[in-house]
Amino acid sequence: MLPLVVATGNPGKLKELQDYLIGLNCELTLKPSELDVEETGVTFLENAYLKASQVAKATGQWAIADDSGLEVDALDGSPGVFSARYGKSDAERIERLLTELGNELNREARFVCAIAVAQPDGTIALEAEGICPGRILHQIRGAGGFGYDPVFYVPEHRLTFAEMPADLKHRVSHRGRAMEILLPKLHKLLDDIAPNGHS
């Protein structure tokens, strides 16, 4: 079974990734807590590349990283790559977002997720990007998920991410859509490098 280091310190993200990768011949572990990667990229894909590559090189293992965030049209694409740094807690980040939007009528937004897989030498082997369009509500709805989920409304399903059952969110979310693109590539990669189930 191939060890695959997840370039995050967030157990929530690890759990989400594990759910997507059920049945794949790889074992996910969190990156070492002392290993910090500075996210200096200007796009989600650049940051995913940086994280996957640096964690792979530091650990000598295959690594997977994602970078995701929220782009709001009326805020010129903000918070964008700074989504996680928009406040000290989920509540603060949501409050800042709603304050900055105020009574703005254009609430169009999208969640974007970029995923990269790096070889032990840091070379990027795979990449994928997924987008989920939606709108920002004026107040929070739902108790599930994390981050901006309670204010991100998906008109197609008439639910916020925080109101969605886990299986639905897995399917329609930006991460779900990116994983849908990545999974066939990852299956092939694992078959190529571990034909008998050995890394």
Binding-site residue numbers are 8-13, 38, 67-68, 146-149, 169, 174-175
For residue 1, give every residue at least 6 positions away whose Cβ sits within 8 Å of its Cβ, in sequence order, or none: 25, 26, 27, 194, 197, 199
DSSP SS3 for 100? helix
What are residue 137's phi and psi, to 5 degrees? Answer: -75, 170
What one-letter code names the amino acid at 60?
A: G
Q: Round to the nearest angstrom and report the end-to-end CA distance of the chain.
A: 6
Binding site residue list for substrate: 8-13, 68, 146-149, 169, 174-175
Distance CA 145, CA 170 (A): 11
Q: What residues are labeled active site?
A: 67
Pairing of strands 62-72, 108-118: antiparallel
Which DSSP category does 138 fall into?
S
Binding site residue list for Mg(2+): 38, 67
Look at phi and psi of residue 193 and say left if phi exceeds 0, alpha if psi is from -120 to 50, else beta. alpha
Q: Which residue has the tokens 């000290």?
A: 88
Q: Which residues pair with 65 in a beta bridge?
A: 116
What one-letter code names the amino acid at 109?
A: A
